[in-house]
Amino acid sequence: MLKCIEVSKIGVLLVGDSPHMFSFLRPRLEKLGCECYFAKTCEEISELLTDIELHIVLSLNTSQNLADMMLLLGSNCLSMFHLVPVENGRWWLPVLRNGEDCLGRSAVNTEEFTQILAEMVLYIHINARSKGAPRIGVV
């Protein structure tokens, strides 16, 4: 039986002070079919935007101004979350949803975020398939 899978991957930008900060998350993203990229500064983000298609941005960067990143990324139809450390763990703060500001929405814990992320990736894959994205047959 011939089974079809998507060739293209979901572009995920990881923004932080070091790629090692994402070691807890990167394997999950790659398992979901994501291609991960890393940037430390707004300048690096800007350069990546000219070269690749991004769908999701995850920020752990406390040295970059969140408003500056929103301004830079808001013209793109992507979703962005920012990780906020709290007393008993970490919470993911929604920043952009499909390019629109969604600051002020409820933050989610890491367990809920993992589920939300998986659903977003699935939605992006389904949406790409419905638009006739390239596919390859696999036995």
Contact 9, 125 (CB under 8 A): no
> What per-residue confidence (pLDDT) applies to 134?
44
User: In the numeric block, which tokens belong to residue 6?
Assistant: 């998507």
* Strand bridging mode 56-59 / 34-39: unpaired
> What per-residue confidence (pLDDT) applies to 1?
39
Q: Which of 111, 93, 110 minimizes the C-alpha distance to 102?
A: 93
> What per-residue confidence (pLDDT) applies to 7?
40
Report in angstroms the alpha-carbon separations of 112 from 46, 90, 92: 30, 11, 9
The owner of tokens 């763990």 is: 89
Predicted structure pTM score: 0.82
- Regions of the chain where pLDDT drops below 70: 1-7, 61-62, 131-139
Q: Does domain 3-138 have CATH number 3.40.50.2300?
A: yes
